[in-house]
């Protein structure tokens, strides 16, 4: 039985937004889902310059989990840029804002 996933703390709500090449309708593009926790790791590590350990502390997850999420996110962004696909921001499982209160 796998270990339960930790709740992830992410800032902002970008779900449902798309980033795509200009002048091509979204309906004509391949869609690549980018989970909100993947976007958050990109923001913390690549934009803000935090270490994976610092990003993990901010999100409430381990450094190893940050590394795994960051690798996936970078791969998806590279694929979208190289192939001219659309990145669609989607909800991640276990986000802090989604917990029943």
Please tell me the predicted confidence (pLDDT) of residue 98. Answer: 43
Q: How many residues does the chain have?
A: 101
Higher pLDDT, 99 or 23: 23
Q: Could you identify the residue written with the tokens 């802090």?
A: 96
Please tell me the least confidently modeled range out of 31-40, 68-77, 87-96.
87-96
> Which strand ranges, in their side-by-side order, compose the sheet holding 31-35?
18-19, 86-90, 31-35
Domains recognised in the chain with CATH numbers? 30-91 (1.10.10)
Angle between helices 52-59 and 63-83 (to 10 degrees): 100
Q: Copy the structure tokens of residue 25.
A: 């309708």
Please tell me the predicted confidence (pLDDT) of residue 97. Answer: 46
Q: What's the mean pLDDT in 64-87?
A: 97
pTM comes to: 0.79
What ranges make up the beta strands (E) of the chain?
18-19, 31-35, 86-90
Residue 91: count of CB within 10 angstroms of its CB: 17
């Amino acid at each position: 039985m796998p270990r339960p996933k930790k709740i992830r703390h992410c800032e902002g709500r970008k779900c449902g937004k798309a980033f795509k090449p200009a002048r091509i309708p979204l309906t004509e593009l391949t869609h690549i889902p980018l989970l909100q926790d993947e976007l958050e790791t990109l923001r913390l590590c690549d934009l803000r310059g935090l270490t994976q350990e610092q990003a993990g502390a901010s999100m409430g997850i381990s450094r190893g989990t940050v590394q795994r999420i960051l690798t996936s996110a970078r791969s998806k962004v590279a694929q979208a840029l190289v192939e001219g696909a659309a990145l669609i921001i989607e909800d991640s499982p276990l986000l802090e804002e989604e917990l029943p209160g």
